[in-house]
């Protein structure tokens, strides 16, 4: 689904258009989101009820309207999932286009074609050097007060708690 700017993938806008115009696509999207990403807490119960009706096969027109209203906020997620599928199933040209548009995720990035240089046998490894072994690990500094401090000096057990005057 190419657009005027050369974007070769299914965009969020196209997903929204297809959800509202094609009920079968909306049903496929609701299953896709349920399998891949899951639902926000506010949608989880509604989605579970609708999915049970879809699986049972007794989906009414009002349920279909609920499916469309339920899946519409997830259009960006659906477009990302469809884009990842298109890149995986497509040619390397799609991965190159994805890199141009900045939509490649690190896991799905195109393989690096540069030559790998092997280290020479004579050079020692980093673990063998004394600097790597002797440097102690310093814990990061905590910000703020230490736990339980509250800027009070410690009281002995014999001193009673002071009460506030009202």
* Domain regions of the chain by residue span: 12-103
Percent of the chain predicted with pLDDT > 90: 10
Question: Is the predicted pLDDT of residue 78 greater than 70, yes or no?
Answer: yes
Average pLDDT, the chain: 74
What is the phi-psi region of residue 49: left when phi exceeds 0, alpha when psi lies from -120 to 50, beta otherwise? alpha
Res. 129: pLDDT tops 70: no
Q: What is the pLDDT of residue 150?
A: 63
Residue whose token pair is 């993938």? 9
Per-residue b/e over 74-92, b at no fewer than 16 CB within 10 Å? bbebbbbbbbbeebeeeee
The model's pTM is 0.55
Of 115-119, 148-152, 160-164, the range with the lowest mean pLDDT is 115-119
pLDDT at 115 over 80: no
**Residue 50: pLDDT over 50:** yes
Q: Identify the pLDDT of residue 93.
A: 75
Environment class of 151 (CB within 10 Å of its CB; exposed 0-12, middle 13-18, buried 19+)? exposed
């Amino acid at each position: 689904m190419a657009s005027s700017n050369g974007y070769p993938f299914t965009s969020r806008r196209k997903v929204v258009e297809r959800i509202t115009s094609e009920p079968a696509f909306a049903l496929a999207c609701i299953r896709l989101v349920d399998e891949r990403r899951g639902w926000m807490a506010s949608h989880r119960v509604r989605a579970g009820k609708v999915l049970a009706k879809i699986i049972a096969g007794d989906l009414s027109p009002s349920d279909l309207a609920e499916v469309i209203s339920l899946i519409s906020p997830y259009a960006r997620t659906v477009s990302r999932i469809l884009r990842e599928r298109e890149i995986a199933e497509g040619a390397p040209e799609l991965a190159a286009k994805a890199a141009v548009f900045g939509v490649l995720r690190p896991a799905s990035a195109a393989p690096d074609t540069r030559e790998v240089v092997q280290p020479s046998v004579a050079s020692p490894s980093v673990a063998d050097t004394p600097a790597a072994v002797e440097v102690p690990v310093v814990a990061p500094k905590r910000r703020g007060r230490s736990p339980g401090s509250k800027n009070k000096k410690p009281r002995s057990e014999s001193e009673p708690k002071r009460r506030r005057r009202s």
